[in-house]
Amino acid sequence: MNPFDYHRAEDAAGAAALVADNPAAAFLAGGTNLVDRMKLGVTAPDTLVDITHLPMDEVEELPEGGLRIGANVRNSEAAAHPLVRTRYPVLSQALLSGASGQLRNAATTGGNLLQRTRCVYFQDLSTPCNKREPGSGCSALEGYQRYHAVFGASPDCVATHPSDMAVALAALDAQAVVQDAAAERRIPVSRLHRLPGEAPERDTVLAHGDLITAVELPAMPMAARARYRKIRDRASFAFALVSAAAAMELAEDGTVADARIALGGVAHKPWRARLAEEALIGAAATGHDFAAAAEAELAEARPLPGNTFKLPLVRAAITTTLGEVADGVRGRGAGPDQGEGER
């Protein structure tokens, strides 16, 4: 590991200025991903600005009924917070499905959003990777593709964003509150991360030195019955192969009035399944309609030879999660192992 200076930040704007002024500086929050990358040599900052002592560790109600989760709120605290559990249980589920108890106690809301891909080639200095070393090539194109993208990838990068939390936030229309040295602005979480295009080294639209200070969730009545489902290689402590967050509101006549669907493990960013959402509006909310919504989204899928298996997983994640949400909305208990057909 390269030597580095360690600073404890005193205020958000000052921390942002300190990092903005030094291209080799980085913010340190929980460190669960950054410290690991430093050990691997993937990231080699000469200065760490520790932001964990800044007053960004509260969960607060917003005047219009939403919720503001400070960037330093630990993943375990956010998942357990009573207002998150009752108003946005899909966010608790997503958080609890990620990492381990120890890691969730350290990892923060802001850090979770800004964690980097676990693509094996990105994390291995001995292999080419355009994200780690622009222009060096993408080893995954002819390599291990199990955890790689099926939506929105480019010839330069097929990595996926590993966060579960961000998938729920994208479905919930959450916004990231961002502080730079001079001002504060808001960016929808669904537009915070980029598709790789020709610049896979850039994960997000943030500039160097931009500090996420909070995430804001809008009031969303249907979020109370939204659900998260994660498909992975082990029952616990594994990244998603595919995951889905879904919310749905039914009209008086039982048709779908509104829907939110986001997918994880399938793209360089949490993937809002807008084609599936559009296909659902006005539909009768049957298993057939959920399958049709999944097909609408899958029309855009471009799997790699090593991850075509993800397409049926996307279909299953969308239909099963929507079925569970529909049962909840209709007031029927949704058993964890119910089928995905007509109900």
Strands 47-50 and 25-28: parallel
CB-wise, 236 or 308, nearer to another protein?
236
CB-wise, 52 or 213, nearer to another protein?
52
Angle value at C-alpha 91, between 300 and 228, nearest 5 degrees: 50
Binding mask 69-98 for another protein (x = CB under 8 A): -----x-x--xx-x--xx--x--xx--xx-
DSSP 8-state assignment for residue 108: B
- CA–CA distance, 182 with 222 (Å, rounded to integer): 36
CB-wise, 76 or 127, nearer to another protein?
76
282 binds another protein (CB under 8 A): no
In the set 227, 269, 272, 315, which binds another protein (CB under 8 A)? 227
105 binds another protein (CB under 8 A): yes
> Binding segment for another protein among 1-9, 138-146, 191-199, 242-250 (CB under 8 A)?
1-9
Q: How far is the CB of 94 from another protein (least distance, A)?
A: 10
Residue 161 is inside which H or E element, if any? none
- CA–CA distance, 72 with 91 (Å, rounded to integer): 16
Asked whether the CA dihedral 195, 320, 286, 303 is positive or negative, the reply is positive
Q: How far is the CB of 336 from another protein (least distance, A)?
A: 7
242 binds another protein (CB under 8 A): no
Residue 188 is inside which H or E element, if any? strand 184-188
> Binding segment for another protein among 27-35, 131-139, 248-256, 291-299 (CB under 8 A)?
27-35
- CA–CA distance, 123 with 287 (Å, rounded to integer): 40
Give the Å distances, CA to CA, from 333 to 168, 238, 280, 336, 337.
22, 28, 22, 9, 12
4 binds another protein (CB under 8 A): yes
CB-wise, 40 or 62, nearer to another protein?
40
Residue 47 is inside which H or E element, if any? strand 47-50
CB-wise, 40 or 205, nearer to another protein?
40
Calculate Rg over the CA atoms of the chain. Answer: 20
Question: Residues interacting with another protein, by CB under 8 A?
Answer: 1, 3-6, 28, 31-32, 35-36, 38-40, 48, 50, 52, 74, 76, 79-80, 82, 85-86, 89, 92-93, 96-97, 99-103, 105-106, 224-225, 227, 235-237, 324, 333-334, 336
